[in-house]
């Protein structure tokens, strides 16, 4: 009599699970330790999301069937009551069985979405452009399609830790990407990498595209774009895309910095304003005065950038807004624009976030990045 055969030992960490998004006929597989959101975007299945690091709550889903591991989902984004009610963060939760999930946020079927992929990026140039601010230009091994306003995750070599930065180039440039990076003292990606030894020719992994801040379609409303610091990056992509394709009847860019040396791409946007009648550019200094011999002293404003906008527009009814910068700036801008009668549905925003340090990367210091 032969010995009974035993099933090979199950190694849970090697098992993939099938994920179904309610309403979609096509399930997809999630690899071990892969978040539901990551698996969905790589499979070409769109799910609402913004920060992809557990801080905004945009990716909340209802788990209709099956089990998930919430991993490091923060309590402030996903409360204990919400977990009990079967909710999960798509960007944090991993399936522990086959699951069916239902996104709580609205799924925008009108916007074209591009699958998430990993690329190899080679540094072409890295330059100081303003106080503690660098422009990083990279070449990808393959073209990446994306929407103007989206971002990518730059993976710090030998650490697996990713940091998120918006593309500043338009989607028409699919292989050469531009990022604006502000130094965060002690930041793993900035002080520890981009402001330390990163040089021309260096290679790293880049994941993208991500995020749902975008301008894709033609719109009839004129747009006000307000950027604080490196919040200019996705707005630059949006402006270039809108001008290239004549998508917006008028574009008004406001860029806020504390001091003159915090501003950058001044010559670029000044020239753009001279070239396009329907594009205006107004930089604002919150802690400095314009010097009389500064060629921008006429167009430039003094004060908080949101106050400058309010001073320039007595009514924002029938207009739209694209905002990117620190949370306090976004909050002030939203209040001001609503007071000026802009419809809330026409206010689009991307907030800077401080990168979370999940347990796997607990020794990595946070960086402040857009989004
Ligand atoms: S919490 Fe998941 S995308 Fe922000």
Per-residue pLDDT tens over the stretch 292-345: 777 766 678 999 999 999 999 999 999 999 999 999 999 999 999 999 999 999
| pLDDT at 297 (0 to 100) | 62
Condensed to tens digits (0 to 9), the pLDDT of residues 33-73 reads 999 999 999 999 999 999 999 999 999 999 999 999 999 99
Tell me which residue has its CA closest to atom 1 in ligand 1.
54
DSSP assigned state of 313: -
**CA–CA gap between residue 193 and residue 187 (Å, rounded):** 9
**Residue 283 in 3-state DSSP?**
strand
- For residue 371, pLDDT over 80 is answered with no
Residues carrying CATH 2.40.30.10, the chain: 117-212+356-365
Question: Do 64 and 20 meet the contact criterion of CB atoms below 8 Å apart?
Answer: no
State in words which class domain 117-212+356-365 has: mainly beta
Domain 12-103 sits in CATH 3.10.20.30: yes
223 phi and psi, to 5 degrees? -120, 135
| Contact between residue 257 and residue 130 where contact means Cβ atoms under 8 Å apart | yes
Pocket test for ligand 1, best of 56, 354, 371 (most atoms within 8 A of CB): 56
User: Would the pLDDT of 365 be above 70?
Assistant: no
Which ligand 1 atom is at minimum distance from the Cα of 91? 2
CA–CA distance, 190 with 206 (Å, rounded to integer): 16
**How close is the Cα of 49 to the center of ligand 1, in Å?**
5
Atom of ligand 1 nearest to the CA of 55: 1
Distance CA 164, CA 355 (A): 8
Joined tokens for residue 281 = 């550019």
Residues of the chain with CATH 3.10.20.30: 12-103
Which alpha helices (DSSP H) does the chain contain, by range? 36-42, 80-84, 232-245, 266-275, 305-312, 327-339
Separation of 73 CA from ligand 1 center, angstroms? 9
Of ligand 1's listed atoms, the one at least distance from the Cα of 60 is 2
Q: Which fold has domain 223-353?
A: Rossmann fold (3.40.50)
Mutate to test the pocket of ligand 1, among 36, 39, 46, 49 (most ligand atoms within 8 A of CB): 49
**Is the distance from the beta carbon of residue 60 to the nearest atom of ligand 1 less than 6 Å?**
no
Name the token pair of 12: 């849970």
- CATH 3.40.50.80 in the chain, residue ranges: 223-353
CA dist., res. 193 & res. 188, Å (int)? 7
């Amino acid at each position: 009599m032969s010995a009974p055969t035993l099933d090979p030992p199950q190694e849970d960490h090697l098992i993939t699970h099938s994920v179904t998004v309610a309403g979609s006929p096509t399930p997809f597989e999630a690899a071990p330790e892969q978040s539901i959101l990551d698996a969905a975007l790589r499979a070409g299945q769109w799910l609402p999301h913004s920060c992809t690091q557990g801080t905004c709550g945009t990716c909340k889903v209802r788990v209709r069937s099956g089990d998930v591991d919430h991993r490091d989902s923060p309590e402030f984004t996903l409360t204990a009551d919400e977990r009990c009610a079967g909710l999960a963060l798509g960007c944090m939760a991993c399936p522990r069985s086959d699951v069916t999930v239902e996104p709580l946020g609205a799924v925008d079927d009108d916007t074209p979405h591009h699958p998430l992929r990993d690329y190899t990026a080679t540094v072409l140039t890295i330059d100081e452009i303003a106080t503690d601010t660098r422009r990083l230009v990279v070449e990808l091994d393959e073209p990446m399609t994306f929407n103007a306003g989206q971002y990518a995750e730059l993976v710090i070599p030998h650490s697996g830790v990713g940091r998120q930065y918006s593309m500043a180039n338009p989607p028409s440039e699919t292989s050469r990407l531009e990022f604006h990076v502000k130094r965060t003292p002690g930041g793993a990606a900035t002080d520890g990498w981009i402001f330390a030894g990163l040089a021309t020719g260096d290679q790293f992994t880049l994941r993208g595209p991500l995020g749902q801040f975008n301008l894709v379609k033609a719109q009839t409303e004129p747009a006000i774009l307000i950027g604080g610091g490196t919040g200019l990056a996705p707005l630059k992509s949006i402006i270039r895309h809108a001008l290239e394709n004549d998508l917006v009847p008028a574009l008004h860019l406001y860029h806020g910095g504390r001091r003159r040396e915090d501003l950058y791409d001044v010559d670029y946007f000044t020239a753009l304003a001279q070239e396009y009648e329907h594009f205006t550019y107004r930089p604002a200094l919150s802690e400095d005065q314009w010097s009389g011999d500064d060629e921008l002293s006429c167009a430039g404003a003094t004060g908080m950038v949101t106050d400058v906008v309010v001073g320039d527009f007595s009514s924002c009814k029938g207009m739209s807004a694209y905002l990117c910068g620190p949370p306090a700036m976004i909050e002030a801008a939203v209040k001001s624009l609503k007071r000026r009668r802009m419809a809330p549905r026409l206010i689009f925003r991307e907030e800077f976030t401080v990168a979370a340090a999940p347990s796997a990367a607990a020794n990595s210091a946070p960086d402040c990045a857009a989004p």
